[in-house]
A and B are shown apart, each in its own frame.
Chain A
Amino acid sequence: MAHQPDDDLARWLGEATRGLTPDVRDSVQAELEAHYHDAVRDHVAAGKSETDAHRAALADLGDAAPTARALRETHSSPRRYEIAMILSLIYPFAAFGFPALVRSLTGSAVSETIAYNLAAAALTFYVLLALRRLVVEQTGVSLDRQISLLMWGIGAEAVSTIATVLIFGPLRGLPYLWGGSSLALVVLDWVTVAGFFTTGLGLMSIGRALLRLDGGLWGLRHALAYPALADGLLGLLLALGIVVAGPNPGAAYEGTLVALSVVAYGLHTIIFALLTLLFFRVLYRQRPDPLQVA
């Protein structure tokens, strides 16, 4: 296949400017492209063939990754780390305090459940997206698949729980054990169980991905990965327990599942807040100085 210098340049420019806003990206790409063509011209003038000149000009630019990291750091506000850390801190409040506040204001258990699910899901999504972006920026490791899995799981749990209380009123016990009183409830039960299962898988896969990150400042990864793995496993056990129980399993069995559910939720909330807070702090501390990149 013929050598395609324009394709190589386009690929390099795309990688070097990934994550920049469209305006900044276009401006930076134009600047780098002009640099590249000046270099090609000089290499040709120095006696290189066109093909070799393009290759040499691209080599002069160097690896795209350090340029990309430094460009993103230059063109983004450090406040994004601070905002992410603050949201991590208020996550437990959103999970427990905000719903209680809504209930005290509205006097409605349904409002409380909806408030919990909306606040927790919105904050979780924001923090997960920030985590995904910052981890890729600083390590080149993609957590896309793992975080998407977790977001789908949390989304399914939130949507099914909100739908359940809107249709059937306040929760009494575990909604997914009400069992078979209507087709809608059965469907919502299974969506919730699937949500638990997917959340568990997502947490476990994030735990595994953290363990595979390089050492160094990522030494913290063990402290974060193992609780995430444990929490993920709890979620899977809970989903399995619900499936095995079937509808109306009896008070003793439901009591066990309630206890497991409370542990899973409590552990999840604390782990999520600590995990993201520590991660953002580590990322903040090791962010590159664009003036010292060369």
Chain B
Amino acid sequence: MNLKGSLPLLVLHVLSTGAAHGYHIARQIKQASEGILDFKEGTLYPTLHGMEKRGWIESAEEEANGRTRRVYRITGEGRDALAQERDEWGAYAAAVNLVLGEA
């Protein structure tokens, strides 16, 4: 299912539970949604880099199993953005449900 612009919210939520690299973030989203939120994983990286430029997350390179990985962490600004994105998503979902409920 298309993420309908919700990827930043989902990434912020995953990172609010702890630092993670891109692959782990993608797995978390897919597993937590029981495979329903299935997106092309290449597109995760422009989103991560865009969020980093906005100051929502920060990253550092770490060595693991002989391979360099970029690990992301949520920032204070990211936590504020998460709260705001969560509110907006809640309002959006409620509005859609209202319409569907009336149909």
Contacts and interface: CB of A to CB of B under 8 A. Distances in A.
B69 A294 contact: no
A241 interface: no
B45 A294 contact: no
Interface string A143-159: 00000000000000000
Chain B: interface residue count, which band? Answer: 20 to 34
The contact size tier of chain A is: 20 to 34
Interface in A226-269: none
Interface centre among B22, B27, B42 (most CB of A within 10 A): B42
A32 B26 CA distance: 12
A37 B67 contact: yes
Contact of B46 (A34, A39, A60, A74): A74
A16 to B, nearest CB: 6
A67 B5 CA distance: 15
Interface in B76-99: none
A32 B69 CA distance: 9
Contacts of A61: 40-42
A71 B46 contact: yes
B41 A290 contact: no
A100 B81 CA distance: 54
Interface string B29-46: 000000000011111111
Interface of B: 2-3, 5, 7-8, 21-23, 26-27, 39-47, 49-51, 53, 67-70
Interface of A: 16, 27-28, 30-32, 34-35, 37-39, 42, 60-64, 66-67, 70-71, 73-75, 289-294
